[in-house]
Structure 1
Amino acid sequence: MACQSVSIIDMDEQALLGLNPNADACYRQRAIAYFEQLKESHDAWEVCAEALAKSVYSDDHVKFFCFQVLEHQIKYRHGSLNAAQQQLIRETLMKWLQCQLMNTQAEKPFIRNKAAQVFALTFVMEYLTHWPKFFFDILSLVGLNPHGVDIYLRTLMAIDAEVVDRDIVHTAEEVRRNTLIKDNMREHVIPSLVESWYQILGAYQQSHPEITCQCLEVVGAYVSWIDLNLIANDRFVNLLLSQMCVEDLREEACDCLFEIVNKGMDPTDKTKLIESLCQVLQSAGFFNVEQEEDVDFLAKFSRLVNGMGQSLVLSWTKLAKSGDVKVAAETLRALEAKVPLLIKLLVHEDDDISANIVGFCYDYLHVLKQGSEWQSKMLQVGRGEQEAVEEYWESDKLPLLTDQQKANVEAIMLAVMKKLTYDDEYNFDNEGEDEAMFVEYRKQLKMLLDRLAQVSPELLLEAVRRVFSSTMQTWQTASFMEVEVAIRLLYMLGEALPASHGAHFSGDTAKTSTLQDMMRTLVSCGVSSYQHTSVVLEFFETVVRYDKFFLVEPQHIPNVLMAFLDHRGLRHSSPKVRSRVAYLFSRFVKTLHKHMNAFIEDILTRIQDLLELVPPENGVPALLTSDDQLFVFETAGVLVVNGEGPAERKQALMRSLLMPLTDAFRLLLAKLATEREEERQAVLADCLSHAVGFASRTSKAFSNKQTVKHCGCTEVYRDCLQTFLPALSCPVQRGALRSAVRSFLHRMIICLEEEVLPFIPAASEHMLKDCEPKDLQEFIPLISQITAKFKSQVSPFLQQVFMPLVLAIFEVLGRPAEDNDQAAALEKQMLRRSYFTFIQTIASSGMNEVMASQGVENIERVLFTIIQGAVDFPDPIAQKTCFIILSKLVELWGAKDGMVGFPDFIYKHIVPACFLAPLKPTFDLTDAQTVLTLSECALTLKMIHHKRGHEFIQYLQTEYLPSLQVSPEITQELCQVLQQPDVKVLKNYIKAFFQQAKL
């Protein structure tokens, strides 16, 4: 129906039935349509305003609906409402509020929240113009009526969200408006609002704690931008402190005090405020946290103490930098006085309480790092020598601690060590949200440990040594938590301590470090046999972190190797341990392979079963996943390649390592060719891919010194290639097999060098057969790698494969696709980019004969695709590549004695491309990638001038630029810039030229 001016009786009662969550779908659809109708009408929404003002409906969903309609009018159509309609909204809200005062039962919270949003939106729109008495009207109406006060406080929070909340993104105009609103409120209404808050807090403390809590939330929200003196005064703070003693209010009172403490203010005043708060809190017994059983309150209190502590640190920092010695010293004393409370909260058994104080603890340690030396420096230089103060501030000296500060540091260390410990409830087998939170909390504690090391490395080292040594002496009877944290602390020292303070190992036994002693204990005391995964994992992590220890004490390597290889490591009962140890073992061997020559055959024998390719029909669960096996194969490769024996030994070991893979590969490939069941085919292909991947991974062991050739392993890898290449012609599961073999070829190009070349033609022929876009896209980098590495050596092959590859690409790009098929469009875009990159590689490798030998018709076809890529496709990455190619081709063929017919191509196609591409609407000159494309376009013009000289300038002046209606003055200017030697000037000019041309 058409929406006209209606009265209350015209409300669509049938549509309103659809507002009930349990209504039928047809009713719900009708309700949605009715909502849209009321929203878009010029005046039909007034029916909702009337319904709210007269409390016509008792159904909560209808009332909410009416507020939604009103909200839409205010939010999106306020400017188009006439004065009478704006007045109607104000009257509606006040009448609805008046009704709330008379109701015995309060509205549902969701209705009150929506009403508050509508009040806040109206305030934002009208406070500065039509409704300056907004707050006074509401306050005079609600008085101390609890229902009215509730709406008033919710409205204040909604206004905070609209005007103050920094998490909400505002337009520049909204920011300007919000600033004016806050300025006006500060000047005219904030004192009255603060007085209302004081009255509410006092009146409802006993009777309506929920309203008091709301009011405390409002005070906390507003205190950040109003005059703090209105809140931070004796009567208000005393009221807040008194509510800290009321069980239903103290958490919100804590939050409110936290916001007050966090308010930016003069450092001296801030210190005085915090000190007065602390005196009252301490005398009220809040510092006796051991006696408090309410952990939720203590978490809030810990956050408050954290805020007070960090504020004191900030005040001290400002005062210290300003050179005010006396006041800075007073602030430092105030700060030190809070440390006992800090430690109590830090060591509390509840991690939330402890985590909330970490920030203050971290900042306090930073003060210790700079504080005591700062004080002595200040006394020497005097207050006036600001430069000397700043010079000290930038220095990074270790502090000279007082006895009390040393005691504080030691207490914090003990607290951190205690809190790092797992509790009994930690679920290692099924880690959930609680476990994830503890892991994050441990990261915070690690930050504290690092800072402790900066303050006093000697104290930290000694504390860890004490805990570690006593635990390792009794590890057989100690709980896993104690043993794990003792090893964990040793592990953490590696990052925490600088090398100059013991985190290194010396070959001089007279000077062995504390760290070296602890490592010796770790690897010799037998703790690697502890029956808990967390301890075993920590053992191996620590062994690998301090692998340099074994360079100075290699006698411990055999014992640790056995731990890696037996039931403690790679054969542990836990898959999690086995998986991690597979990785750690590879790192251990990479560092220490020079000390393992005598054990190579033994290690390879012991891990032989872990190197087996587990066939899918085996049915026996493998000890390691295929990803874990990759690390084991790499480790085996490192051992073989870096052994001290002759090349013959290395060749024999590598063959024995890889031959089981190739044998299994042949059998599985034969099975795959005859397998008809698709699921089974996928399993076999997966297994074949793993075999290729494992062989590929062993090649990572070779280096510039230890090459495949030098190690006598060329023939071994050639045999692997011959075994794997037939998989390329397998009629099923082509994607997985081609991907695996292609990756192996990439590795062999690096490792086998020219020995790989005989395999490339056949491999390429197979990979170009029945190509999908993804196949081609992945094949091109392989050809590009061969081109870039071997250059002229592969020129005959490239001349042969060039057009088949190009035609395969053209065929795939030419396939029709659905207009809305974004995946297909993206695949084509990526293939197009790969194609252009391939052409660029050939052009840049000095092999112009590859393209030149393709015949005129084919060359033209390729050249036109490059022009098309430069101009027609809105892809700046591909366009940039195309201009690089064009520039290179001009350099190769553009001279007077260059390729026949190419100068004509320059003038007919390349020059127009340089101007038409940037003039396209899709060529966005504000986009960084497009600007890079324009730079390459400019370089192409420069190259044409370099090769064709005055002929090119004359062509621009007399033919091309006039055809674009470029004025003679601009034409002359452009030609002059082109002839200048400075390319940067040309790039800047070209950008300005096209910016002007596109206006």
Structure 2
Amino acid sequence: MDEQALMGLNPNADASFRQRALVYFEQLKVSHDAWQMCAEALAQGIYSDDHVKFFCFQVLEQQIKYKHTILCILQRILLFKLMVAWKFLQMLTSQPEKTFIRNKAAQVFALVFVTEYLTKWPRFFFDILSVIGLNPQGVDLYLRILMAIDAEVVDRDIGHTPEETRRNTLIKDTMREQCIPNLVESWYQILQTYQHTNSELTCQCLEVVGAFVSWIDLNLIANERFINMLLGHMSVEVLREEACDCLFEIVNKGMDPVDKTKLVESLCQVLLSAGFFNIEQEEDVDFLAKFSKLVNGMGQSLMTSWTKLVKNGDVGNAQETLCAIEAKVPLMLQLLVHEDDDISSNIIGFCYDYLHILKQLPVLSDIQKSNVEAIMLAVIKKLTYDEEYNFENEGEDEAMFVEYRKQLKLLLDRLAQVSPELLLVAVRRVFSAALQNWQTARFMEVEVAIRLLYMLGEALPVSHGAHFSGDSSKINALQEMMQTLVTSGVSAYQHTSVTLEFFETVVRYEKFFSVEPQHIPNVLMAFLDHRGLRHSSSKVRSRTAYLFSRFVKSLKSQVNLFFSFSFFFFLELTLLISQVPENGYQSLLSSDDQLFIYETAGVLIVNSEYSAERKQVLMRNLLTPLMEKFKMLLEKLMREEDEDRQAALADCLNHAVGFASRTSKAFSNKQTVKQCGCSGVYLDCLRTFLPALSCPLQKEVLRGGVRTFLHRMIICLEEEVLPFIPTASEHMLKDCEAKDLQEFIPLINQITAKFKAQVSPFLQQVFMPLLHAIFEVLARPAEENDQSAALDKQMLRRSYFAFLQTVAGSGMSEVLANQGVENVERVLFTVIQGAVEFPDPIAQKTCFIILSKLVELWGGKDGLVGFGDFIYKHIVPACFLAPMKQTFDLTDAQTVLALSECAVTLKTIYLKRGPECIQYLQQEYLPSLQVAPEIIQEFCQALQQPDSKAFKNYLKVFFQRAKP
């Protein structure tokens, strides 16, 4: 072997040696005799370096994976000799091989097995067993090979091709016939030999049994000698977790429901007799986590059996199985309520399925009702936070508890389905106890009480009070609890978890306030003062901003009853905390949070009962500080030289525009800007913000913000915005990049589609400047491998065609027609080019839509001068050239849509030009493509059929036949 190259395998080797090693590896992968060289090197123990040995096994792995068909009998003998030598070499050394090398060796031998067992090496396992004996090194290799075989043949988490799946099924069938009893006997001998002297090998062997038991004859394992041995292992500290896993796999095996019940019951009886059900005496939480998984498996297996028996009408055995399930419930409850969440989490599946069974029973017994209540109390207890939960800096443990809480939420929902009355009574009891003494109660008790009230909203069916009644005689438990929540003063509790749960719950039950609006002022104050938006915790302030927005929007009519009470306080708060920060000043709320605040302020103003004049004054009071700040910051930006400071100022300006824009979301079709008298305020905002477009600094950020504001104003101000569009467009078309244009075009599309003829003069004026800017950017050279630039150009090209589609489809075709003959031709040729040359089905589809629309508008006898010739010279050929391209993939959904629009274009040409079109296709164009006369006739007949869908289907078949 190349010793110089092998030196590069050392992690500390320099780059040149490492590169040489990589090259050498690639050479050996394709070499005919490399595997033999590597196998002999390993068998003879030539190299002691771990990295070299691993390298040799990697070469063997590649050779076997991709070149195994060339192995002859001599080569297989050599591989077997390697296995034997490898085992004896390990026996002779005092230090065993590193684990990663042993695993790689096992992986190589497993690959040999998979490729050779069925055809050339049927005695694979017998040969191995004849060599390894009960030597520890040999047993270790044997067990690792078995686990590697499981990964290659059985493991469902590893994807396989259909061919591999068939092969794996055949391997398992053959193993069951030929060698599984021998393998099982070897496992028993290994377990018996090493259970007291070598825990590592014993655990490995238990893992093998657990892996194989799912597809072999269960009677080989589930028998007295094996089960007794496994139960013995359950009492050995270093073995019992693996023994638990092995028993779980045995219990989990699919089998006849009656036999499964007998198996589980016999296993439970032995475990009970051995004292394993005495959970309170067990201190090893790691073992209990495994044990709870086993109990969960036993419970779910019994319930699967019960379901099958009920379905089969076997009432007697179903009842026996149900009794067996009920007998496990006390153990299940002990594990569910265990203080360790991992132990509790592992048993939730059993609880959930048990409740599902109870839901199906017509009547619950007293014991079953008692079980339901016990599960309920356990869930309530386990929902409670620990003292150690870190609310300020949530880490992995906290994230795991949040996920665990979600599991408990599912249990609570299922409890509500089984016995909603019982759940309501339990929650009411817990809630009342906690809220009655909230000042002295611990935070977790108060939080979980409010949390349970929140959860009831989703858990209880509507018939059990998930709504509120205005009739005092029908006040339900939910309504009473909400009354207690908002009147108890608990919103002042000094813990963030309680505060957040309070606000989440009042928003969750906003319908309560429709029935009892007298509570709104207290809740509004909680939102606005130190409990909410002024809270010391940024997390609370942020969440409250969002929740307050939801609360006000959902109850805008009721909140307006208290408008004068809340708004001026709120406006003062808005101006205080929702400032545009600068000079390092950090506002109480982030910019995203402030968006909710401004939107909420807008909602309060727009939906108030004030006159339009008063609304205008209020909106001006809200937005004037923003405009003044904007002007000042823009002046600063124009003078600023430091780039970091420029970026910070641009962000501030962008936020100011965003805040103003967000207030406009409060308007609706019933409450427009004009009806509310606020047009003048927003026009002033436009005049204030538009100068930012001419700022040479931070163009991308500033243009983006102003462009978004313009989009909103086109919706809100209607035609009043039109005078501002030409100037804005002029600035946004200067010094453009592809992305700038791509984002500007939707604005022009919006104006065109909304105002149509009103913007015709403007479109006439801006049309060619916009197109020249697009053509200039598209023509700029780019690096060959610059994927980002290529994508930007592709997206700009799509936007350009979308613009043309909007113009043509909005009845504005005269805008294009009036651009002069040369410009019209240039535009039309770009559309033809887009339809044919660029392998972008989305753009191609748009281009065919444009072409069919223009044919419809200009393609008649009295249409645009010269367009008839253009149809035959360019549009018709495009309809054939595009689908014939190799890049036009007719199996792709987007491409099929493009072909559908191509069919529409051809159909439109026929409808506008009539027999002339058919004559041209029959006598000139299709013959020029060497299309057979009978196919030409067939094509023309299909085109003339009135059914457009039939022609689309025909066209697809036509091009599928035509493509080589």
Query: What stretches of structure 1 of length at least 5 have no aligned partner?
Result: 1-10, 374-399
- The corresponding residue for 1:383 is none
Change (3 A) 1:67 1:611: same
CA-to-partner distance for each residue in 1:198-239, whole Å, 9 max, x for gaps? 111122110111111111111111111112222222222222
Letter of the structure 2 residue corresponding to residue 611 of structure 1: L
- Cα deviation, 1:2-54, whole Å, max 9, x if unaligned, reads xxxxxxxxx44444444333444444444444434433322244232222222
CA distance in 2, matches of 1:943, 1:40: 59
Q: How does 1:108-123 map to 2 (within 5 A)?
A: 108-123=98-113
Q: Which residue in 2 is equivalent to 1:669? A: 634
Aligned to 1:600: 563
Structure 2 residue 887 is the aligned partner of structure 1 residue 922? yes
SS at match of 2:654: helix
Quote the residue 1:934 is aligned against: 899
State the Cα deviation string for residues 718-756 of structure 1 (Å, max 9, x = none). Answer: 111111111111111111111111111111111111111
Instruction: Indicate yes or no: 2:168 matched with 1:187.
Output: no
Aligned partners of 1:611 and 1:629 also within 8 Å: no
Secondary structure of the structure 1 residue equivalent to 2:880 = helix
Instruction: Give yes or no for contact 1:98–1:141 (8 Å, CA) kept in 2.
Output: no
Contact 1:586 1:635 in 2 (8 A): yes
Mapped to 2, the partners of 1:403 and 1:556 lie a distance apart of: 41
Structure 2 counterparts to residues 100-115 of structure 1, below 5 A: 100-103=90-93, 105-115=95-105
Higher mean C-alpha displacement, 28-37 vs 204-213: 28-37
Pairing of 1:576-975 with structure 2 (within 5 A): 576-607=539-570, 608-611=572-575, 614=579, 616-975=581-940
- For 1:522, the equivalent position in structure 2 comes to 485
Aligned to 1:379: none
| Residue identity in the other structure for 1:418 | K
Q: Decide whether aligned partners of structure 1 residues 330 and 754 sit closer, same or farther in structure 2, where only a CA change above 3 A counts.
A: same
Distance 1:869 1:655, change over 3 A: same
Preserved contact between residue 616 and residue 684 of structure 1 (Cα < 8 Å): no
Task: Work out which of the residue numbers 245, 250, 266 in structure 1 matches 2:240.
Answer: 250
In structure 2, the CA distance between the partners of 1:774 and 1:241, relative to structure 1 (3 Å rule), is same
In the alignment, does 2:146 pair up with 1:156? yes
Answering whether residue 319 of structure 2 is matched by residue 309 of structure 1, we say no
1:296 aligns with 2:310: no
Give the partner amino acid of 2:854. L
Q: What CA distance in whole angstroms lies between the structure 2 residues aligned with 1:451 and 1:405?
A: 15
Are 1:611 and 1:633, in contact at CA under 8 Å, matched by a contact in 2? no
- Counterpart of 1:236, as a letter, is F
Shift of 1:70: 2.1
For residues 503-527 of structure 1, what are the alpha-carbon distances to aligned partners after superposition, in whole Å with 9 as ceiling and x for unaligned?
1111111110100000010111111
Residue 941 of structure 2 aligns with an amino acid whose one-letter code is: Q
Deviations 1:778-834 (A, max 9, x none): 111011111111111112211221111111111111111111111100000000001
Which residue of 2 is the match for residue 333 of structure 1?
Answer: 323
How large is the Cα RMSD of the aligned pairs? 1.5
Match of 2:467 among 504, 515, 525: 504
Task: Choose from 574, 579, 600 the match for 2:537.
Answer: 574
1:588-631 deviation per Cα after TM superposition (whole angstroms, max 9, x unaligned): 11122222335434433323243356355454431111111111
Which letter maps to 1:231? I
Residue 616 of structure 1 contacts residue 683 of structure 1 at CA under 8 Å; is this kept in 2?
Answer: no
CA deviations over 1:165-212 (Å, ceiling 9, x no partner): 222222232222222211111110111111111111122110111111
Superposition deviation, residue 405 in structure 1: 1.1
Aligned to 2:44: 54
**CA–CA distance in 2 between the matches of 1:912 and 1:794?**
35
- 1:361–1:543 distance in 2 versus 1, CA, 3 Å: same
Retained in 2: the 8 A contact 1:163–1:178?
yes
**Aligned partner of 1:523: which letter?**
V
Quote the residue 1:79 is aligned against.
Answer: 69
| 1:559 is the counterpart of 2:516 | no
Q: Whole-Å Cα distance in 2 between the matches of residues 617 and 62 of structure 1?
A: 61
Which shifted more, 87-96 or 28-37? Answer: 28-37
Give the counterpart letter for 2:601 in structure 1: A
| 1:629–1:978 Cα change, 3 Å | same
Instruction: Give the match for residue 368 of structure 1.
Output: 358
Q: Amino acid of the residue matched to residue 574 of structure 2?
A: L
Instruction: Single out whichever of 218-227 and 825-834 deviates more from structure 2.
Output: 218-227
Q: Report the counterpart of residue 40 of structure 1 in structure 2.
A: 30
- In the alignment, the residues of structure 1 paired with residue 553 and residue 227 of structure 2 have an alpha-carbon distance, to the nearest angstrom, of 64
Residue 461 (structure 1) aligns with: 424
Within a 5 Å distance, the mapping from 1:425-574 to structure 2 comes to: 425-574=388-537
Q: In 1, Cα distance between the equivalents of 2:808 and 2:823?
A: 16
Query: SS at 1:596's partner residue?
Result: helix
SS of the aligned residue for 1:338 comes to helix
Name the SS of the counterpart of 1:245 in structure 2. coil
Q: Which piece of structure 1 moves more, 89-98 or 970-979?
A: 89-98
Instruction: Provide the aligned length of Structure 1 versus Structure 2.
Output: 962
Residue aligning to 1:69: 59
Residue aligning to 1:405: 368
CA distance in 1: counterparts of 2:540 and 2:440, whole angstroms: 22
User: What is the CA-CA distance between 1:660 and the residue it aligns to?
Assistant: 1.1
Contact 2:34 2:59 in 1 (8 A): no
Report the Cα distance in structure 1 between the residues aligned to 2:875 and 2:884, rounded to whole angstroms. Answer: 15
Distance of 1:684 and 1:15 partners within structure 2: 57
Contact 2:582 2:652 in 1 (8 A): no
Cα separation, partners in 2 of 1:57 and 1:811, compared to 1, 3 Å: closer
Pair 1:212–1:581, CA change in 2 (3 A): same
TM-score by length of structure 2 reads 0.98
User: Offset of 1:57 from its aligned partner?
Assistant: 3.1
Bigger mean CA deviation after superposition, 96-105 or 53-62: 96-105
Structure 2 runs not aligned, ≥5 long: none
SS at match of 1:691: helix
937-946 or 88-97, larger mean C-alpha shift:
88-97
- What are the Cα deviations for residues 972-999 of structure 1, in whole angstroms up to 9, with x where unaligned? 1111111111122111111111111113
Q: Which amino acid letter does the alignment assign opposite residue 367 of structure 2?
A: Q
CA contact (8 A) 1:101 1:142 kept: no
Select between 490-499 and 18-27 the one with higher mean Cα deviation.
18-27
Deviation at 1:863, TM superposition (A): 0.6
> What is the correspondence of 1:188-267 to structure 2 with a 5 Å cutoff?
188-267=178-257
2-structure distance, mates of 1:902, 1:293: 89
**Is the deviation greater in 349-358 or in 23-32?**
23-32
For 2:957, the equivalent position in structure 1 comes to: 992
TM-score of the pair, normalised by structure 1: 0.94
| Matches of 1:477 and 1:340, distance apart in 2 | 34
| Cα distance in 2, alignment partners of residues 868 and 13 from structure 1 | 59
Q: Deviation per CA, 1:309-339: give whole Å up to 9, x if none.
A: 1111111111112222111111111111111
Q: Offset at 1:716?
A: 1.1
Map 1:116-155 to 2 at 5 A. 116-155=106-145
User: Comparing 232-241 with 520-529, which one deviates more in the overlay?
Assistant: 232-241
Q: Deviations over 1:68-107 (max 9, x none)?
A: 2222221222223444334322322233234434555432
What secondary structure is seen at the aligned counterpart in 1 of 2:510? Answer: coil
Give the letter aligned to residue 720 of structure 1: C
Taking the aligned partners of 1:181 and 1:421, their CA distance within structure 2 comes to 51
Q: Distance in 2 between matches of 1:201 and 1:401?
A: 46
